[in-house]
Amino acid sequence: MAWIVLVFAGFAEVGGVISLKMAEGFKKIKPMFSAFLFGCASFYMLSIAMKTLPVGSAYAVWTGIGTAGSVLVGMAFFNENRDIKRIVLISCIVIAAVGLKITG
């Protein structure tokens, strides 16, 4: 159950990022509102998942889904760069962020 909540927390994170992009620096009200809702939902679900799951794994799955989701949505809907270098570098960031959480 906690894992399912965690996956949805990751999805909410992607929703939040898309909303923030569409808010264009807080110029549009509706996307701002949805960004706020997605953000709250994401953190709330993450906190629930972290009650039972190890913090390191929960964080890894959460950021992993957030990052991979953002990259895929960016490529599919915002015509973003599909360069392999970019994917490798982004993966390095995820590995480093998760590594820091686990060793921290």
**Which residues of the shown chain bind another protein in the complex (CB under 8 A)?**
17-18, 20-21, 23-26, 35, 39, 63, 66-67, 70-75, 78-81, 83, 85-86, 89-90, 92-97, 99-101, 103-104
| DSSP string computed for 40-98 | HHHHHHHHHHHHHS-HHHHHHHHHHHHHHHHHHHHHHHS-----HHHHHHHHHHHHHHH
- Shortest Cβ 74–another protein spacing (Å): 4
Q: How far is the CB of 57 from another protein (least distance, A)?
A: 15
Q: How many CB atoms lie within 10 A of CB 10?
A: 22
- CB-nearer residue toward another protein: 8 or 43: 43
